[in-house]
Amino acid sequence: MGGREVTDREHVHEPDASMPLVAGGELNRWWRIGLPIVTPFVRLMFRTHVEGLEHLPSSGATIVAFNHISALDGPVLAIEIGRRIKRESRFLVAAEFFHRGFSGWILRRYDQIPIRRGEGDDSALEAALDAVREGVLLAMAPEGTVNADPDTLMRIRSGVSRIALPSGAPVVPVGIWGTHRRWPRSGLSWERPWRPRLAIVFGEPLLPSGDEDDDADVEAFGARLRRHLVRQVERARSLSGEPP
């Protein structure tokens, strides 16, 4: 009912004739310009450790589901994926950021997807589903907002399930730890350490199955995702050198 765990990565990486492939290594002009500019800033702010990148498909429809502990999660995740495997990432981003001058200009150039938070924005989910069906890598924070208490994962919302189940795209759970040391929910912080450790851990992909119109299937896949996400967050925390 809510999907099965995939331990054989070949099941995920085999081409699906029903779904277009967007190849890794084909960054558009804006990504090719932007990555060399922003990567040094990540290196300046963090000592970055990445684990499990082999679990991330190099092409084709993919959903990355990450815990959300900082406003920096999306940018650093996009930078590391783009830099390391040359794949573009599309995120669901709060619609208000698209109306803020420079940030809106950047988000539009990088083809990000606006979502109206707290309004059950079905049009944003449809746009995200269409993007996945076109073969892109979609990144989502299933908690829906920045967590003020990173130690405890918040409720997993249904958005990932409602995109994964109809598309059949593999879902890669990603644990992030360390971004909140520089930019917690309360705002930018320059407390020591000056370069905190940032750990990003990619887990084995989950291949969804079930009916997106069946609440039981949606909840079951969400529960499975939560268990795996908790596991990756724990590993990321350990990799960062911070005790549980």
Taking the mean position of all CA atoms in its chain, how far away is CA 101? 24
Burial of 37 from C-beta contacts in 10 A (0-12 / 13-18 / 19+): exposed
> Does the pTM exceed 0.85?
yes
Length of the chain: 244
Alpha carbon separation from 113 to 29, 87, 217, 224 (Å, rounded): 19, 17, 26, 26
Whole-angstrom distance, CA of residue 136 vs CA of residue 88: 8
The token duo for 174 is 């990603």
Q: What is the pLDDT along the chain (244 residues), one digit of tens a residue?
A: 455 554 434 455 554 444 444 444 568 899 999 999 999 999 999 999 999 999 999 999 999 999 999 999 999 999 999 999 999 999 988 888 898 888 889 998 898 988 887 666 788 889 999 999 999 999 999 999 999 999 999 999 999 999 999 999 999 999 999 999 998 888 888 888 889 999 999 999 999 999 999 999 999 999 999 999 999 999 999 999 887 6
The full DSSP string for 23-62 is: BTT---HHHHHHHHHHHHHHHHH-EEEEE-GGGS-SBS-E
Q: Which residue, 156, 201, 155, 188, is CA-closest to 72?
A: 188
- What the chain holds in terms of domains, given with CATH numbers, is 20-33+48-239 (3.40.1130.10)
